[in-house]
Amino acid sequence: MKDTKDIELSIIKKFKKKIWRPFTKAINEYELIEDGDKIAVCISGGKDSMLMAKLFQELERHGKKNFDVVFLVMNPGYNDVNRSKIESNAKHLNVPIHIFESDIFDAVATVEDSPCYLCARMRRGHLYAKAKELGCNKIALGHHFDDVIETILMGMLYSGQIQTMMPKLHSTNFEGMELIRPLYLIRENDIIHWAKYNELEFLRCACRFTEKIEEEQRLKALESGEELDNISNVESSSKRKEIKELIASLHKVNPFVEKNIFRSVENVHIKTIIAYKEGGITHNFLDDYHKDDNKQTFEGGINLRFDGENIVDKIRDDLMKLSDEGYKEFHAKLIPEIDKDRIIGVRTPELRKYANQFAKHESDVATFKKALPHRYYDEMNLHGFLIEKNKDFDTCIKELDDFLEYVDNWATCDCTNPKVLGKCKDKLVSHIDNWIATGKTYYIRYAIKLLMTHYLDEDYSIDYMYKVAAVESEEYYVNMMIAWYFATALAKQYDDAVTFLQEKRLSVWIHNKTIQKAVESNRIDKDTKDYLRTLRIK
């Protein structure tokens, strides 16, 4: 087993293309992590979940999201050897696991045939419950790309349906909880390669049913002189195993077959489907066969044909239909600086989905953008999401200039993240300087946020730290962003960032708030946190 540091380094060096990039791509493409999330990273002790734990640690060190994690291990009734294996692997990999007990193995031990389905459902329920108890809003499971395409084929061949294992989904039994699958785009063979390269041995399923099957196959292998791979699962003669073998045989004929299976559920043409189910209701192609095919609707019955209407009033009416009163009450507490009556209460995923549809109507979008300042908080956020659609840097900057003039709260300021800015970093710096020079709260906060997002990694320079440290403001939300910037800098560029604390270059409030946020972060190790505490100014 290799040294912990070497194992960590292998993720972002040797396996950067095969593991690290697909991991971050899934995070970004499927919006799996949002600022403020607390995620229970669920560890079974196998290769997939242990790699996932290390990937989350790397994301905390190098990522651009402000989130917390708990590394959660449920003991469903492991024998002493297996439990000890999980604990020793976690210790060597420097993963601070939180173990809790359950009796799932006992509960499913008497189930005839394969108890795997029941076991999996019970495990997930226990994980949701414990994660929620710990204050988490998401659980992360270690399903990978091969699990996804196997599920697609299993549904078609054995269940007569087209469905897939989604990259994220809302819990139906635990309100406010989500399940995410960050390994969604990572191939299983690459996970196996990573484990072998680092001389790591992990658990298999480790339940009594699997142990029995494993022992039978082990004896069979010994009789035939075959060797068993201690990394991959010793699988039962299950449908999933049949599917895995089928895909392997198809790959010999067509090396792109795995990608094509995956793409098949990304390129579904509804008008060529005979029937589909939505919300428990079956829809048949004959239902709309004689209707106007051009009419477009959004979830909730919102008409997406914008032409010829008063677009500002229409947008407002649409958002009112998407309002969630509970979310409005919750969100109003987070942004006390604006009047509660100015919050409609549209959840961010729904607002982004609406923005994606609205963005297709360019002339109407242009009309809406000219209607600044918008009356409602949600309309402002929608405007910010529409700015993100810009692919031209100069256009994006101009629209941000107009938009920031009317931003009046931290949440709207922080939620607008155009990708084009990160692609033109050399041109962006001068605009950051201009926004800081305005002396206006949310121009400054947004400028510092961009320095934190884009200039603490490969484009880092200590000059940017001096730029942020030089900002003087009495505004709470500016000073909070400065503290957030330096707390993030301590995780990414520690040697330079810590000198600003050692030499007391920040105001007392920002100095102490930076240390507080750094100590609360999972990106910084315990010894460093202990040292940072000694730098507090009393």
How far is residue 493's CA from residue 155's CA, in Å, rounded to a whole number?
48
* pLDDT (0 to 100) of residue 298: 57
Contacts of 452 (CB under 8 A, 6+ apart): 64, 481, 484, 485, 488, 489
Q: Cα(first)–Cα(last) distance of the chain, in Å?
A: 45
Q: Residue 364 has which token pair?
A: 């109407």
CB distance 489 to 497 below 8 Å: yes
Contacts of 147 (CB under 8 A, 6+ apart): 165, 188
Q: Tell me which residues of the chain have a pLDDT lower than 70.
A: 63-64, 103-121, 205-238, 288-309
Would strands 178-180 and 302-303 be described as parallel, antiparallel, or unpaired? unpaired
* pLDDT (0 to 100) of residue 161: 86
Encoded amino acid at 479, one letter = N
Residues linked to residue 71 through DSSP beta bridges, in sequence order: 41, 97
Residues linked to residue 178 through DSSP beta bridges, in sequence order: 138, 170
For the domain spanning 4-210, the CATH number is 3.40.50.620
- Does residue 195 sit in helix, strand or coil? helix
How far is residue 341's CA from residue 33's CA, in Å, rounded to a whole number?
29
* pLDDT (0 to 100) of residue 521: 86
Q: What is the mean pLDDT of the chain?
A: 86
For 505-537, b/e burial (b = at least 16 CB within 10 A) is ebbeebbbbbbebbbebbbbeeebeeebeeeee
76-81 long-range Cβ contacts below 8 angstroms, 24+ apart = 76/102, 76/103, 76/104, 76/105, 76/119, 76/122, 76/123, 76/126, 76/207, 77/102, 77/103, 77/104, 77/105, 77/106, 77/207, 78/45, 78/105, 78/206, 79/206
Domains of the chain, by residue range, sit at 4-210, 294-423, 424-538
* pLDDT (0 to 100) of residue 452: 95
Would the CA dihedral through 190, 191, 192, 196 be positive or negative?
positive
